[in-house]
């Protein structure tokens, strides 16, 4: 029986006042932590989703991912070409796919997402799935705002969400989709 251990490589990404732990599998980016979170939180997240994985620090392996994220944060990129390897429940994956459909510079509400997936009564479940998005920025959960236009919760923090929305407003046109 072959019990090959999965390797997950990680590195710290720094941008301005923010520091994020990032991680990738052989298939692509699997994790972008919230600013200020600890290595222990990265380990716990990885262990929960990849129980047999071994974490190895490898800045070179994460460099292409970090470079694209930094380009985005600098306003020099509107979409990502990096591979992403995220796993969740079928419902979460459906929500994360819907988030990728929100164009750069546009916003929508949680109820818009629920309607988009043809489950208009699932607004709370949509919010929960959005909150479980493991790759901030690259799967643009920051583009989801309250129905009344309010900036609502974000795993990266409200200040970061406001920064991302303002960045996209300056580079694109912010309208509902």
Please give the tally of structural domains in the chain: 2
- Report the Cα 69 to chain-centroid distance in Å: 11
Whether residue 84 is contained in a domain is answered as no
Residues taking part in catalysis = 141
| CA contacts within 13 A on the Cβ side of 159 | 6
Strand partners, 145: 109
pLDDT of amino acid 3: 63
Residue 28 lies in a domain: yes
Instruction: Tell me the pLDDT tens digit for each residue of 75-130.
Output: 999 999 999 999 999 999 999 999 999 999 999 999 999 999 999 999 999 999 99
What CATH number is associated with residue 118?
1.10.10.10
- Please check whether residues 111 and 165 belong to one and the same domain: yes
The verdict on residue 79 lying in a domain is no
Do 22 and 47 lie in a common domain? yes
Tell me the per-residue pLDDT of 25-44, one tens digit each, with 9 for 90 and over. Answer: 999 999 999 998 999 999 99
Structure tokens at 108: 């929508």
Measure Cα distances from 173 to 74, 161, 168, 177 in Å.
Answer: 17, 16, 7, 11
What CA dihedral angle connects 127, 34, 50 and 126, to 10 degrees? Answer: 10
| Structural domain that includes position 151 | 90-171
- What CATH number should be reported for the domain holding residue 40? 3.30.160
85 found inside a domain: no
Residue 177: its pLDDT value, please? Answer: 44
């Amino acid at each position: 029986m072959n019990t090959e251990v999965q390797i997950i490589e990680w590195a710290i990404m720094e941008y301005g006042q923010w520091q994020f732990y990032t991680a990738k599998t052989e298939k692509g980016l699997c994790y972008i932590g919230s600013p200020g979170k600890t290595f222990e939180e990265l380990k716990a997240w990885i262990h929960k989703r990849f129980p047999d994985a071994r974490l190895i620090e490898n800045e070179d392996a994460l460099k292409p991912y970090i470079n694209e994220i930094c380009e985005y944060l600098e306003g020099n990129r509107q979409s990502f070409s990096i591979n992403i390897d995220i796993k969740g429940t079928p419902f979460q994956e459906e929500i994360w796919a819907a988030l990728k459909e929100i164009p750069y510079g546009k916003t929508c509400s949680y109820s818009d997402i629920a309607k988009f997936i043809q489950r208009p009564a699932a607004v709370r479940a949509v919010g929960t799935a959005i909150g479980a998005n493991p790759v901030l920025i690259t799967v643009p959960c920051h583009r989801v705002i309250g129905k009344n236009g309010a900036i609502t919760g974000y795993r990266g923090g409200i200040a970061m969400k406001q920064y991302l929305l303002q960045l996209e407003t300056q580079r694109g046109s912010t309208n509902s989709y």
